[in-house]
Amino acid sequence: MNFGLKTDELNPYDVIVCGAGHAGCEAALAASRCGAEVLILTGNLDTVAQMSCNPAIGGQAKGQIVREIDALGGEMALNTDLSAIQFKLLNSSKGPAVQAPRAQCDKKAYQLRMKHVLELNENITTFQSIVDGLIIEKGKCIGVKTTLGINFYGKAIVVTTGTFLRALMHVGKEKAEGGRLGDHVAKGLSADFAKYGIELNRFKTGTPPRLLGRSINFEKTEIQYGDKEPTKFSFYDTRNKEEMFHVEQKGRWFHMEQAEQLPAVQCYTTRTTSQTAEIIKNNLHLSPLYKGDISGTGPRYCPSVEDKIVRFGEKEGHRIYLEPEGINTDEWYVNGLSTSLPFDVQNHVVQSIPGLEKAVIIRPAYAVEYDYANPTQLARSLESLKIESLFFAGQINGTSGYEEAAAQGLVAGINSARKALNENPVIFGRDEGYIGVLIDDLVTKGTTEPYRMFTSRAEYRLLFNHTSSELRYIPKLQILNLVSQNRKQAILSKSLVVNDWVKRIRTEKVHANDTYADLIKRGEDETKLPEDFRKLHKETRSEILYRVKYEGYLLRELKNIERMKDSERIKIPKNFSFKDIPGLRIESAEKLSVIKPETLAQANRISGVNPSDISVLMILLAKSNTN
């Protein structure tokens, strides 16, 4: 064990992670689990795993991602469960495939616990310093420079610097450099990326104002209760106590054994009014978004309130959610009111909303513009196609959201460790879960707005119900040391139980004509099933019932996956040249050369590449394989 910092070029770390946000933390932890010695650098130790936007984790498609992260031994799920102050299962009235857990978290508790997890990890060294450049040798990244003047060396480097590249914040016409209010900007990195041919583009995003709770008149708003019975993110049926609460057991300052009893809080809703609309319309010329001061593309799923009113009018008003930032603070997040209007206008806007007439803004809303590195410059391992041993994860890849960032961090962590240890990269498939969809979309299609996961992006979404996450990743757990041996065994036996029960329900007759499956498909509930079914864990039961009830649809999906895998098996060699291939259209050849698909199936998903190009490619690949 080595507590000291290593700065010796001849004795490098296995993995250096730059940035300790949601991507950075998962990257460091995953790399360490894969056996790497990790250094994680952050510009500010007080902002480790900071939730810089809304105080919630999960939600539609994102909740599923968090559960997948848990299935792969990641930390986000446990950390959320233990710092959550309200749980809600979204779409609970809809089908299992589109149900998604979400939790309001205590932001500070979330951060501190994650920081503590890093500190307690024996393979991870955490250090505060700003990364200001890359050390590149013969096209390979071997270390980083810091503003302290110290260089650190690593066999693989993971960049997770979020929105900090050339970040510019706007409040009305006032501008300030920085990716988050009160934070620094990374400039040296941007310059180095440009130097080594990594293309950067610009995005924008915004946050709403934060209010002082005691200045809000909650009586004029509507209460949003959480679920009485929380749907948690972690799988507890396959873990022992040791694995569940490692921080709480070892920690010196935290003792959260009773964490499930963190006090629950409520959220509230209110609406914008016609007065709100009028204020906004009258001041539109002051919004940098409308003046054209902001050039980056913003997310369509998270429009500013200016946008909402201009584009969709103000018939019944737009709903506004008031969400607490934590239990030890009276700061409230105003979800739905993101804006870049000047501060005085923000005040008027807020005060035109029922319940907020006297509300005090304690943190103004702002829009931020930042650089991201087009993710088509990455392989599916998240290693750069341009600089060897350099990995990218999180918002720097043009995504938005804590969950999307964490998922990429996990993948980059695994693959950077494998790179350092001379092992082949591990690829996450679109057929395995949302993580594979996320990575494949990013590196294959790129993105023109901050990328957020939607369930509709997953063509096999029916198979990605959140309770099945652990079972879906068994093949990955077999080749990666991401969870303990105990848990791996528990997951395997859960899988056997599920399969056995599905088979039994399908074949065993209740009476002459009907199997148990017939009853279930007809809408009977599980009380009609054999006695010992009820002894199973709740999530196991719901997984079994889902597979029985939706059998036909799920089988169809499995067949589709098989078909897709046929062309996924046809690999395109790493140095394959797409130039001068007769029959391949120039436009396609150019796209293919940039994106460098790893398989024929991936090539087929590139927009603008035609099936005819694919058949040309396939024949050529077959030829080069036989020759």
Site residues for other proteins per CB under 8 A: 60-61, 90-91, 94-95, 97-98, 300-303, 307-308, 311-312, 318-319, 321, 335-336, 338, 454-457, 459, 461-462, 550, 553, 556, 563, 566-567, 570, 582-583, 585-587, 604, 607, 610-616, 618-619, 622-623, 626
**How many Cα atoms within 13 Å fall on the side-chain side of residue 191?**
9
Q: Which is nearer to other proteins, 60 or 347 (CB)?
A: 60
State the helix-helix crossing angle for 538-549 and 485-507, rounded to 10 degrees: 40
Beta strands in 216-298 (DSSP E): 222-224, 267-271
| Residue in the structure block whose two tokens are 């063509």 | 459
Q: Which is nearer to other proteins, 264 or 616 (CB)?
A: 616
**In whole angstroms, how close is the CB of 235 to other proteins at the nearest point?**
23
**In whole angstroms, how close is the CB of 53 to other proteins at the nearest point?**
12
If we measure between CA atoms, which residue out of 382, 451, 450 comes closest to residue 411?
382
Q: Which is nearer to other proteins, 167 or 462 (CB)?
A: 462
**Mapping DSSP to helix (H, G, I), strand (E, B) and coil, where does residue 526 land?**
helix
Q: Which is nearer to other proteins, 383 or 613 (CB)?
A: 613
- Is-contact 403 66, C-beta < 8 A? yes
Using DSSP, how many helices (H) and how many strands (E) does the chain show? Answer: 22, 20
How many Cβ atoms are within 10 Å of 72's Cβ, its own excluded?
26
The C-alpha atoms of residue 260 and residue 81 are separated, in whole angstroms, by 8
| Residue in the structure block whose two tokens are 């991936």 | 602
Q: Which is nearer to other proteins, 92 or 295 (CB)?
A: 92
**In whole angstroms, how close is the CB of 440 to other proteins at the nearest point?**
12
**In whole angstroms, how close is the CB of 278 to other proteins at the nearest point?**
18
**In whole angstroms, how close is the CB of 504 to other proteins at the nearest point?**
25
Beta strands in 19-139 (DSSP E): 38-42, 56-58, 84-90, 100-105, 124-128, 131-137
Task: State both tokens at 79.
Answer: 């950390």
**In whole angstroms, how close is the CB of 461 to other proteins at the nearest point?**
7
Which CB contacts under 8 angstroms, 24+ apart, belong to 569-574? 569/599, 570/599, 570/600, 570/601, 570/618, 570/621, 571/598, 571/599, 571/600, 572/596, 572/597, 572/598, 572/599, 572/600, 572/603, 572/617, 572/621, 573/624, 574/598
- Is-contact 67 469, C-beta < 8 A? yes
**In whole angstroms, how close is the CB of 281 to other proteins at the nearest point?**
16
**In whole angstroms, how close is the CB of 347 to other proteins at the nearest point?**
21
Q: Which is nearer to other proteins, 186 or 462 (CB)?
A: 462
Phi, psi (deg, nearest 5) at residue 368: -130, 140
If we measure between CA atoms, which residue out of 298, 286, 290, 285 comes closest to residue 171?
286
Residues with Cβ within 8 Å of residue 198, at least 6 apart in sequence: 373, 377, 384, 386, 387
**In whole angstroms, how close is the CB of 207 to other proteins at the nearest point?**
13
**How many Cα atoms within 13 Å fall on the side-chain side of residue 166?**
16
The C-alpha atoms of residue 486 and residue 483 are separated, in whole angstroms, by 8
Q: Which is nearer to other proteins, 248 or 557 (CB)?
A: 557
Q: Which is nearer to other proteins, 102 or 476 (CB)?
A: 102
Q: Which is nearer to other proteins, 308 or 380 (CB)?
A: 308
Q: Which is nearer to other proteins, 188 or 317 (CB)?
A: 317
**In whole angstroms, how close is the CB of 568 to other proteins at the nearest point?**
10
- Is-contact 131 154, C-beta < 8 A? no
Q: Which is nearer to other proteins, 123 or 469 (CB)?
A: 469
**In whole angstroms, how close is the CB of 101 to other proteins at the nearest point?**
12
